[in-house]
């Protein structure tokens, strides 16, 4: 592509860190990735990254890498995709061409550690115009299991679109908006694919999987089936289509760093009808592939010769 065209169509957007102290570090150790600016040539390793996909499970992120490599016809049949973070078991990371795939574990604290280090990694590597998509699983509210939800806003347990970050013991409220255009583009991709039902809606992000999501099957439960139904119905009335455990921190941190971000989660069950994940392994496995099929299709479409890129 002619650089002038590139400049006209999509001005280069770098990944922002907001931390003057970083400039004073001789070496920035990304401890939970087992990478660092002194030990690794981050621009050479990651400078071409345009898409980052993340999800809770390391196995799923490896499978995504194999899937996207085949989709982009970049697979190397001789090569096992190496785990770039092989020096640690905190996160797993794989790369194929411009697509980076990273696991983030379960819950806001776990994804927040990953994102702090990922944002620094992309910044140190000089990456530009990066799109980041979380592909995950969730509980649906009033949706057929297997439906995919692209998040409009991430809301908290009181259905408000905010993320509370505690800094020096004080609570700072951050915005959880995601990229509206990207959400629309993903919905359009799902329509073109026509393989499964996809909606754009709000996602409730909780700090707990059992009591925090009104489940009746945790070790502790002090409420009734009716209390649960009332709560989930109120959530549904507030526009919540699904519940998971990472989207609010993800939305807030990506927005702060100027990353174009989306959350694409499949619903493994309808929480109005039950709590336990009792579908067969094969059915759950099929559902879990849907976000990766959708995001794979989106990336492939973006990387075709007509797509705008920097």
C-alpha distances in angstroms, 282 versus 82, 137, 254, 285?
27, 15, 33, 5
Residue 225 tokens read as 């089936």
Q: Which of 53, 58, 94, 118 is nearest to 253 (CA)?
A: 118
104 and 52 Cβ atoms separated by less than 8 Å? no
Please identify, among the stretches 76-84, 140-148, 252-260, 287-295, the one whose residues bind a copy of itself according to the rule CB under 8 A: 252-260
Q: What is the rounded CA–CA span in Å between residue 254 and residue 158?
A: 22
Interface with a copy of itself, residue 39, by CB under 8 A:
no
To the nearest whole angstrom, how small is the minimum distance from the Cβ of residue 31 to a copy of itself? 5
Cβ proximity to a copy of itself, 74 vs 172, nearer residue = 172
Which of 253, 263, 265, 293 touches a copy of itself by CB under 8 A?
Answer: 253
Closer to a copy of itself at the Cβ: 18 or 78?
18
Q: Does 116 bind a copy of itself (CB under 8 A)?
A: yes
Rounded least distance, CB 158 to a copy of itself, Å: 5
Given 161, 212, 239, 258, the residue binding a copy of itself (CB under 8 A): 212
Do β-strands 198-205 and 240-244 pair in parallel, antiparallel, or remain unpaired?
parallel
Number of other CB atoms surrounding residue 254 within 10 Å: 28
Check residue 81 for interaction with a copy of itself (CB under 8 A).
Answer: no
Q: By CB under 8 A, how many residues form the interface with a copy of itself? A: 67
User: CB under 8 Å to 136, separation ≥6 — which residues?
Assistant: 55, 56, 244, 246, 263, 264, 265, 266, 291
Find the shortest distance in angstroms from Cβ 5 to a copy of itself.
31
The region of 4-12, 127-135, 160-168, 190-198 touching a copy of itself under the rule CB under 8 A is 160-168
Mention every residue, 6+ apart, whose C-beta is less than 8 A from residue 268: 137, 138, 139, 140, 145, 277, 279, 284, 287, 288
**Per rule CB under 8 A, is residue 229 in the interface with a copy of itself?**
no
Alpha-carbon distance 269 to 284, whole Å? Answer: 9
The H or E element that residue 65 is part of is helix 58-71
- Single out the segment in contact with a copy of itself by CB under 8 A; choices: 40-48, 78-86, 221-229, 302-310: 221-229
Asked if 231 interacts with a copy of itself (CB under 8 A), we say: yes
Annotated ligand binding at 215? The verdict is yes
Following DSSP, what letter does each residue of 72-87 receive, concatenated? Answer: TT---TTPPPP-TTTT
Rounded Cα distance, 131 and 263, in Å: 11
**Do the annotations mark residue 47 as ligand-binding?**
no
Site string for a copy of itself, 171-200 (x = CB under 8 A): ------------------------------
Residue 137 marked ligand-binding: yes
CB of residue 49 vs a copy of itself: minimum separation in angstroms?
A: 16
Residue 145's CB is within 10 A of a number of other CB atoms, namely 18
φ, ψ for residue 116, nearest 5 deg: -55, -45
Residue 228 engages a copy of itself in binding (rule: CB under 8 A): yes
Residues near a copy of itself (CB under 8 A): 17-22, 25, 27-29, 31-32, 56-59, 89-90, 105-110, 112-113, 115-117, 119-120, 123, 157-159, 165-169, 206-212, 214, 216-223, 225, 227-228, 231, 245, 253, 256-257, 276-278
Task: Return binding residues.
Answer: 90, 134-137, 213, 215
């Amino acid at each position: 592509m002619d650089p002038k065209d590139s400049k006209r169509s999509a001005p280069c957007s770098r990944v922002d860190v907001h931390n003057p102290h970083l400039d004073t570090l001789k070496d920035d150790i990304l401890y939970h990735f087992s990478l660092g600016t002194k030990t690794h040539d981050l621009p050479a390793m990651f400078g071409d990254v345009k898409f980052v996909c993340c999800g809770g499970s390391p196995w799923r992120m490896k499978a995504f890498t194999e899937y996207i490599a085949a989709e982009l016809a970049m697979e190397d049949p001789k090569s096992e995709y190496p785990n770039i973070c092989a020096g640690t078991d905190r996160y797993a990371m794989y790369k194929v061409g411009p697509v980076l795939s990273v696991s983030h574990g379960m819950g806001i604290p776990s994804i927040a550690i990953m994102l702090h280090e990922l944002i620094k990694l992309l910044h140190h590597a000089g990456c530009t115009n990066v799109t980041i998509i979380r592909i995950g699983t969730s509980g649906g509210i009033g949706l057929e299991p297997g439906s995919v939800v692209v998040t409009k806003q991430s809301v908290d347990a009181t259905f408000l679109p905010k993320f509370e970050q505690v800094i020096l013991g004080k609570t700072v409220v951050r915005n959880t908006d995601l990229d509206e255009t990207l959400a629309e583009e993903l919905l359009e991709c799902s329509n073109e694919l026509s393989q499964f039902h996809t909606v754009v809606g709000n996602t409730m992000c909780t700090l707990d999987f059992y009591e925090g999501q009104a489940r009746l099957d945790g070790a502790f439960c002090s409420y009734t089936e009716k209390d649960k139904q009332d709560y989930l119905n109120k959530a549904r009335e507030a526009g919540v289509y699904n519940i998971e455990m990472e989207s609010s921190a993800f939305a807030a941190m990506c927005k702060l760093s100027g990353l174009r971000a989306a959350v694409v989660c499949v619903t493994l069950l309808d929480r109005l009808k039950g709590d336990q994940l009792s579908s067969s392994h094969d059915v759950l496995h099929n559902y879990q592939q849907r976000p990766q099929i959708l995001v794979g299709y989106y990336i492939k479409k973006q990387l075709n010769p007509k797509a705008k890129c920097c």
